[in-house]
Structure 1
Amino acid sequence: MAEEEGIALKKEASNVDTAREARSKPTRSVKRDRAVAVHKMKYSKEEYENVIYEAQTVFASEKALVDIDPPCIVVGDLHGQFNDLINMFILLGRPPDTVYVFTGDYVDRGMMSLECIMLLFTYKILYPENIILLRGNHEIARVNKKYGFYDECLQSIPKIGEEIWAMFQRCFNNLPISALIATKILCMHGGLSPSLITLDDLRRHSKPIRNPFRGIVNDMLWADPDPSVFEWKTSARGSGFVFGTNVIDDVCARLGVELIIRAHQMCFDGYWVVSGKKLITIFSAPMYCNLYKNAACVLKVDETLGIQMVAFVPESPKVEQIIEEKNRVWDTSFDCIE
């Protein structure tokens, strides 16, 4: 079934010219099917050009802040784990029947970043209202040139890999930065910014945004929560800030939102909740890089803004014990700018 998905993508590409926690539902666990495998795809230069051009046109028409209505599924980091993306679509549904908000980091680290981004771009072209693709810090040229995507392009696309990589960067510059679900749930890749005063600061932000390195956009791609910090502190990542729970409370009250959903940090149990359930971190790449026995998680948001956590648990001996013992967010130094 997963191979059929890859074949279908090839055909499609060729044709392209916790808010209200009282009502939250229990976590649903899904065992990760390690038997499903998808081979790497081979696209022509024309297919890459068509998909990237059409996707960039759609992204350019979107504001930096995208408004969306529930129900939808919010997804964290993917990092080139194409098999897990396919499993997610098989288990939870595909666009346009299921609406998705992806919070960035589609590329780098994993072995199939090209397949991930081409599939997601194709869905975006076909169903622009049913899939939202936000920008992550790995959708920045200086980052994905260092952490794997650039090398994958060179190796997988002989002779024109650097040209195609550069085309992807121009497209990434047009990705929206944040999504607002029913005016109450704010989604982004990284976190908050001291420059974020009102949501109009995002709505009015111009695009394309080339190589952000300071300011509201950069902060929202790189920032992390830290309960030990009182307000703001410079991030050890080398870009953006870490922020305390009082900042979360203040921003939610000032912006009129009830929940912040973000990604950016690997969580051993797939999610991490802080500040009285006003902020949830999710990570959607199980068995990250085939080095860690972490679970993954996505959030299902229903029409009433009830939240259901769907966990993808890898098949592994004592995995639940390992997750429980290492129930923490990964060290920020794992992903930094030098």
Structure 2
Amino acid sequence: MSKDLNSSRIKIIKPNDSYIKVDRKKDLTKYELENGKVISTKDRPIASVPAITGKIPSDEEVFDSKTGLPNHSFLREHFFHEGRLSKEQAIKILNMSTVALSKEPNLLKLKAPITICGDIHGQYYDLLKLFEVGGDPAEIDYLFLGDYVDRGAFSFECLIYLYSLKLNNLGRFWMLRGNHECKHLTSYFTFKNEMLHKYDMEVYDACCRSFNVLPLAALMNGQYFCVHGGISPELKSVEDVNKINRFREIPSRGLMCDLLWADPVENYDDARDGSEFDQSEDEFVPNSLRGCSFAFTFKASCKFLKANGLLSIIRAHEAQDAGYRMY
């Protein structure tokens, strides 16, 4: 110890000091509330809330014995009780999903009726409520517009449950890529940390490989362009989407970036028709809110829709208090 150290400022704590002694005779299985009521620390405070399961399920429970596909009904309830999978089970489902999704085109061609859903962001119980309101995916077609992970605490459960529904309903359940389905954002936000807490880097990497094969956009009834973010100055024809190499991380610029990152300009609703814009006004402006991509104007939307014979753009990417918004 340094001789210059002021010894008067040092307090030596000894194991037998009274103020650090633990009362070993105290019953730690009981706790007295402020009102004097004594409760058991072994009992659940709210008995009606189901206990979290600590059991890793068997392969026979996770995978259907006849089809070999994930048992989505079992997974739904298992995840409801905050159950986990083994590492091998998780990677198997992710790899199966990657193979199936990689066979789909960049631009899906879909038929109505179809229920279209926006960002999920790790909210597993909201996802279950969505299906409760929207209907059984085995009977109703669904299109999800991306952003399944980050922010919420159950991103993995959302992703695996959606993938299990996809694998069991290949012709009527569809998933697009959102801007959060990439290594860059999941490392910055919460998904990577969630995966390292629940599993490990190998499972996280398998998730990211599945992100890289998700389709980028959908065309419904040849009239509605469905995408996570928006349109791009590089998007002249909807068929331009199929020219993209989507099997990679999301680039910082270009058509693929814009499809997943673009937003309408803030004053988009101020225009009722193209007549309010003079010929010199930009159709696209830098997206300062996001720090990348563009914000597109009403004029840009009208031009794109007219050139492709479309009625509307259906997008996600922004939370809406009412659940949806008509621009």
Per the normalisation by structure 2, the TM-score is: 0.71
Where do residues 186-265 of structure 1 align in structure 2 (5 Å cutoff)?
A: 186-226=225-265, 228=267, 230=281, 231-236=283-288, 237-265=290-318
For 2:17, the equivalent position in structure 1 comes to none
Superposed displacement of residue 205, structure 1: 2.3
- Residue 326 of structure 2: SS of its match in structure 1? strand
Task: Count residues with an aligned counterpart.
Answer: 247
Q: Percent of aligned positions with the same letter in both sequences?
A: 32
- Distance in 2, matches of 1:242 and 1:12, equals 47
What amino acid is aligned across from residue 111 of structure 2 in structure 1? D
Cα distance change, pair 13–212 in 1 and its aligned pair in 2 (3 A): farther
Q: Which moved more, 1:204-213 or 1:47-56?
A: 204-213
| 2:320 match | 267
**Contact 1:188–1:221 (CA under 8 A) maintained in structure 2:** yes
What is the CA–CA distance in structure 1 between the aligned matches of 2:251 and 2:308, rounded to whole Å?
24
**How many angstroms apart in 1 are the aligned matches of 2:148 and 2:62?**
18
- Pick closer, same or farther for the CA change 1:13–1:253 going to 2, 3 Å: farther
Mapped pair 1:144 → 2:197: no
Q: Distance in 1 between matches of 2:213 and 2:135?
A: 27
Question: Within 2, Cα distance between the matches of 1:253 and 1:93?
Answer: 34
CA 1:191 to 1:212, structure 2 compared with 1: closer, same or farther past 3 Å?
same
Contact 2:262 2:294 in 1 (8 A): yes
Cα gap change, 1:46 to 1:255, in 2 (>3 Å): same
Match of 1:181 in 2: 220
Q: Which amino acid aligns with 1:252?
A: L
Deviation at 1:227, TM superposition (A): 5.1
Once the two structures are superposed, residues 96-118 of structure 1 have per-residue CA deviations (whole angstroms, 9 ceiling, x without a partner) of: 21110000000000111011000
Q: 1:120 maps to what in 2?
A: 162
Tell me, in whole angstroms, the C-alpha distance in 2 between the residues paired with 1:167 and 1:50: 9
Deviation, 1:144, is 1.1
Q: Which residue is equivalent to 2:38?
A: none
Aligned with residue 90 of structure 1, among 126, 132, 137: 132
Q: Which amino acid aligns with 1:46?
A: E
Residues 41 and 115 of structure 1 are in contact (CA less than 8 Å); yes or no, is this contact kept in structure 2? no
List runs of 5+ in structure 1 lacking aligned partners.
Answer: 18-36, 275-338
Shift of 1:89: 1.3
Distance 1:235 1:111 in 2: 29
Q: Give the letter aligned to residue 214 of structure 1.
A: R
TM-score (norm 1): 0.69
Counterpart residue type for residue 241 of structure 1? F
Shift of 1:93: 1.6
Give the gaps of 5 or more residues in structure 2: 1-49, 70-78, 269-280
> Any conservation in 1 of the 2:146–2:181 contact (CA below 8 Å)?
yes
CA contact (8 A) 2:179 2:250 kept: no
In terms of Rg, which structure is larger?
A: 2
Alignment correspondent of 1:107: 149
Residue pairs, 1:1-338, within 5 angstroms = 13-15=62-64, 16=68, 38-157=80-199, 161-226=200-265, 228=267, 230=281, 231-236=283-288, 237-274=290-327
Comparing 70-79 with 221-230, which one deviates more in the overlay? 221-230
Q: Name the CA distance, whole Å, in 2 between partners of 1:14 and 1:46.
A: 12
Letter matched to residue 179 of structure 1: A
Query: RMSD of aligned C-alpha atoms?
Result: 2.2
Amino acid at match of 2:218: A
Judge conservation of contact 1:145–1:151 (CA < 8 Å) in 2.
yes
Bigger RCO of structures 1 and 2 (CA < 8 A, at least 6 apart):
1
Q: Where in structure 1 do 4 or more consecutive aligned residues deviate above 4 Å?
A: 10-13
Q: Please give the secondary structure, in 1, of the residue aligned with 2:325.
A: strand
Q: Deviations over 1:166-214 (max 9, x none)?
A: 1111110000000110100110001111110111211232331323221
8 Å CA contact 1:80, 1:113 repeated in 2: yes
Q: Which has the higher strand share?
A: 1
Q: CA deviation at 1:87?
A: 1.2
Any idea what the Cα deviations from partners look like across 1:30-59, whole Å, max 9, x if unmatched?
Answer: xxxxxxx93322101121111111101111
